Amino acid sequence: MGELVAGTPALRLTVAVSLPLDLVSILSLLHRATPGSGFDPWLVTARQALPAELRRDLDLLHGFSGPRFYYVEEPVMRFRPLAPEQDGAGINDFLAFLDTLPPSAFLAMADNALARVGRDFAIPVEGVDADEERLRRALAPALTMASVDEVLPLLTDPCRLKEQTVRLFRSVWEVLYRDEYASRLPEMAAASALAREYTARGFDLAFAELTGNRPPPALADRLGEVERVAFCPSAHLGAFVSYILYPPELVVFFGAPELVARLANNARNGSADPSNVGVASANGSQPLAPVTDGVLLDGLRALADPNRLQMLELLGADELYAQEIVGRLGIAQSAVSRHLALLERAGFVTVRPRRGMKYYALERGRLEALADALRAKGSTATPLTT
């Protein structure tokens, strides 16, 4: 029977609108949204409008658990926002949960956040119960916008750590985000409904279509630890990639307005269903040239490259312009142009100019004709005899 190996469960993909998850995403975006950062103008203006004390809390609690800001993720993931019983959980449910936790739980969350930083940097990290000198050393690689002298009083006083953590979530909601969330919720719900179609296509394609990017290496390398992926719409993320990796769960945020606008644009241009792009020839409205031996060889050469195969996979899901393909594959634009030109010459993609840009779509008919020619070769071949 061959070698038996332990299996890895297939990823379960879902789409969720979760207020606690959206709130922790907004906190992270607000922390980064300084003038000139390229973030959504609403975020930049909102950060500047925060009271000074609240802005200090925001930066302090994000500033001691590495560049991925692990600590502020901890209370939300401890809430288990993706569990069935938390479906539809509101701000009062989340804050009540935090209020019931003892101060020692917040210290344990800080400890876990530092351990996650240690894993990222492949270094041993002392726990928060270490003496002051060892704790200072443990914090050194984890500090971003906070100083060790600001963080030490928090980690040596669990009651203060709990108070500031709960206050941050409650205050940002009450002072800043309550009305904004209510106004953007219909758009997020609409994006969530549209996103569900992509979860049937596997993680890589769903990630590419919803975020406009490929999974970053730090995420791709650890997908083996993940059992469930939840794609969550964000009203203010834009083109950035944001995720919470908390095995066995992964939360991936995607830009809600961007997805809604892109699919609406596709619908206006007659390609609302990505699976229908490029089917005209297959349906016989534009007859294809016959697949001679020379055409077959050219087609096989065009397919004999992993980047070109990935391009065909992307274009099979949606019509794209060249720069979108560059962003999703992470290779040079000159290389993408060469690959697309070769695929176009082989007849596997069609090109349609629009608003000064070239849009590429998969020519399914040519792929099917090539497959038919290969099958015909196999059915007429004479078996070798000895």
List, for residues 185-194, the tens digit of each pLDDT value.
999 999 999 9
- Does the structure show a pLDDT above 90 at 42? yes
Residue owning tokens 């973030």: 39
Query: How many whole angstroms separate alpha carbon 112 and alpha carbon 146?
Result: 18
Which of 3-12, 269-278, 362-371 tops mean pLDDT? 362-371
Burial-class residue 101 by CB neighbours within 10 Å (0-12, 13-18, 19+).
middle
- Give the confidence band of 324 by pLDDT, cuts at 50, 70, 90: confident
For 27-31, 162-166, 178-182, 373-377, which range has the lowest pLDDT when averaged over its residues? 373-377
Dihedrals phi, psi of 297, to nearest 5 degrees: -65, -45
269-376 adopts what CATH topology? Arc Repressor Mutant, subunit A (1.10.10)
Burial-class residue 185 by CB neighbours within 10 Å (0-12, 13-18, 19+).
middle
Cβ neighbors of 346 (< 8 A, separation 6 or more) are 298, 299, 301, 302, 303, 366
**pLDDT for position 158:** 95
- Does the structure show a pLDDT above 60 at 88? yes
Average pLDDT over residues 171-195: 95
Residue type (1 letter), 292: T
List pLDDT tens digits, range 123-163: 877 777 767 888 888 888 889 888 999 999 999 999 999 99
- Does the structure show a pLDDT above 90 at 273? no
Residue 235: which of 15, 40, 51 has the closest Cα? Answer: 40
**pLDDT for position 299:** 84
Residue type (1 letter), 263: L
Count CB-CB contacts under 10 A for residue 100: 8
Cβ neighbors of 85 (< 8 A, separation 6 or more) are none
**pLDDT for position 275:** 36
- Does the structure show a pLDDT above 60 at 270? no
Residue type (1 letter), 306: P
Name the maximum alpha-carbon separation found in the chain. Answer: 87
**pLDDT for position 136:** 86
Q: Tokens standing for 205?
A: 């394609």
Q: Is the pTM of this model over 0.75?
A: no
Residue 345 or 286, more confident: 345
Give SS3 for 224.
helix
Residue 210: which of 243, 249, 247 has the closest Cα? Answer: 243
Q: Tokens standing for 250?
A: 């992964």
- Give the confidence band of 386 by pLDDT, cuts at 50, 70, 90: very low
**pLDDT for position 384:** 46
Angle at 264 between CA 260 and CA 267, to 5 degrees: 145
Q: Tokens standing for 72?
A: 């502020």
Is the CB of residue 361 less than 8 Å from the CB of residue 277?
yes
Angle at 21 between CA 49 and CA 239, to 5 degrees: 70
- Give the confidence band of 6 by pLDDT, cuts at 50, 70, 90: low
Domain with CATH 1.10.10.10 in the chain: 269-376
- Give the confidence band of 377 by pLDDT, cuts at 50, 70, 90: confident
Q: What is the mean pLDDT of the chain?
A: 85
